[in-house]
Amino acid sequence: MIIKPKTRGFICTTAHPEGCAQNVQEQINYIKGKVPLEGPKKVLVIGASTGYGLASRIAAAFGSGAATIGVFFEKPASETKTASAGWYNAAAFDRKAKEAGLYSQNINGDAFSDEIKDKTIQLIKKDLGKIDMVVYSLASPRRIHPKTGVTHNSVIKPISNPFTNKTIDFHSGVVSEVTIQPASEDEIKDTVAVMGGEDWEMWIQALKSAGVLESGFKTVAFSYIGPELTHAIYTNGTIGKAKEHLDNSSKAITAQLKDIDGKAYISVNKALVTQASSAIPIVPLYISILYKIMKEKGLHEGCIEQAYRLFAEGLYSDSPTLDDSGKIRIDDWEMRSDVQEGIKPAWEQITTENVNSLSDLEGYRSDFFKLFGFGLKGVDYESDVNPVVEIPGVE
């Protein structure tokens, strides 16, 4: 099959196996070029196939020599349809980890379910005994609640008042104004049910009850704060409510782990192009401007650079820099005043006509297609490739 990108709205419905493998390889190369991490040794990554979860898994495995189990929800290929990008990423990671002599095992299924939690616990007991870290990096539009069977759908909306601001169709480059109506009470609750911390708490509770957590165990989940410009749609919106809940869960989990000297962290990460963030209105335009400014200042990072700093300067540093509320802040460069001061005037002036000079829309687009394995150097996109790629032993 000759595989080309096919987009529908903000998603790409095809993925390239060799391009995704190259994307994973580049992240591995980055980690191998850094000072090795004094990090975890047996790690479970929930949401391990793309974005921040994949990068964290690569950092743990190739930076700290960790055995890793990855949980994700991805689609394998059929004869006529490519697999999802996360499937190809996980396959590439697994191959490279095993070649490097590292333990790697994968579970594909709904992480919100009791069944996948049970399966994961059995696998840990069988192969690793105990684990010393869980990275919780799910981003999902829905969750079927394991106890009630109710399906909750998350929405990205403001709360109380409609919010009007600029947005971009990053495929066409058209900048327009969008008004997003406020969420209903039910939509707020549903978003908290999907993206809040209840499931994270359930995972840690299940793992702890099964006796598979090492003493000194750590777990981390990811959040975002961002500048005032995005607050109505993010921090003060439905997703922000979910992140508030996630933050409360970190405290509840830490309390629960006291007897094993364990701790749960929230890491506030940089805004980056991922499958999850490209679905948020307004944010892609902000990211395009942010990329331009951070690249000009030599401060730009992708998921893998962030993941390395998360481990080196945050989770496994002797003196981690935490903010007043105890969060790890690897969004520190994004939030630097000289970066944010550059965003404001660009945001006010930006239009369809000047978008390429005031923002790094090209960089945004190329990162977006890279998520699906397109546009990587060294990959021949004209050649016939087999879309069917196995992940040996995936459960």
Q: Active-site positions?
A: 234
Q: Which of 24, 271, 339, 361 binds ligand NAD (CB under 6 A)?
A: 271
Q: Which of 12, 97, 276, 293 binds ligand NAD (CB under 6 A)?
A: 276
Q: Using CB under 6 A, pick the residue from 17, 47, 240, 281 that binds ligand NAD.
A: 47
- In this chain, which stretch among 104-112, 155-163, 352-360, 377-385 interacts with ligand NAD, using CB under 6 A? 104-112
Q: Which stretch binds ligand NAD (CB under 6 A): 4-12, 66-74, 184-192, 359-367?
A: 66-74
CA distance 130 to 141: 31
Pairing of strands 104-108, 42-46: unpaired
H-run or E-run covering 370:
helix 361-371
Long-range CB pairs of 204-208, under 8 A, 24+ apart, other chains included? 204/134, 204/253, 204/256, 204/257, 204/264, 205/256, 206/117, 206/118, 206/121, 207/44, 207/121, 207/124, 207/131, 207/134, 208/256, 208/257, 208/260
Task: Examine residue 290 and tell whether it contacts ligand NAD (CB under 6 A).
Answer: no
Question: Is 136 within 8 Å of 206 (Cβ atoms)?
Answer: no
* CB nearer to ligand NAD: pick between 45 and 214: 45
Task: Confirm or reject binding of residue 73 to ligand NAD (CB under 6 A).
Answer: yes
Q: Is 197 among the residues that bind ligand NAD (CB under 6 A)? A: no
Residue 69 binding ligand NAD, by CB under 6 A: no
56 binds ligand NAD (CB under 6 A): no
Among 274, 308, 343, 359, binds ligand NAD (CB under 6 A): 274
For the chain, give the number of residues.
395
Closer to ligand NAD by Cβ: residue 188 or 276: 276
Out of 128, 139, 193, 376, the residue judged to bind ligand NAD by CB under 6 A = 139
Residue 27 interacts with ligand NAD (CB under 6 A)?
no
Nearer to ligand NAD, 28 or 225 (CB): 225
Secondary structure of residue 8 in the 3-state scheme: strand
275 binds ligand NAD (CB under 6 A): yes
How far apart are CB 270 and ligand NAD at their closest, in Å?
6
Beta strands, E only, the chain: 7-8, 11-12, 42-46, 67-72, 104-108, 131-136, 142-144, 151-153, 163-169, 174-180, 213-223, 263-268, 328-329
Q: Dihedral through CA 247, CA 67, CA 52, CA 392, nearest 10?
A: -130
Q: Please list, in sequence order, all residues whose beta carbon lies within 8 angstroms of the beta carbon of residue 200, skipping any fewer than 6 positions away.
A: 136, 219, 221, 246, 249, 253, 264
Find the shortest distance in angstroms from Cβ 257 to ligand NAD: 20
* Residue 306 near ligand NAD by CB under 6 A: no
Under rule CB under 6 A, residue 86 binds ligand NAD: yes
Q: Is 248 in the site for ligand NAD (CB under 6 A)?
A: no
Binding site for ligand NAD (CB under 6 A): 47-53, 71-74, 86, 110-112, 137-140, 222-224, 269, 271-272, 274-277
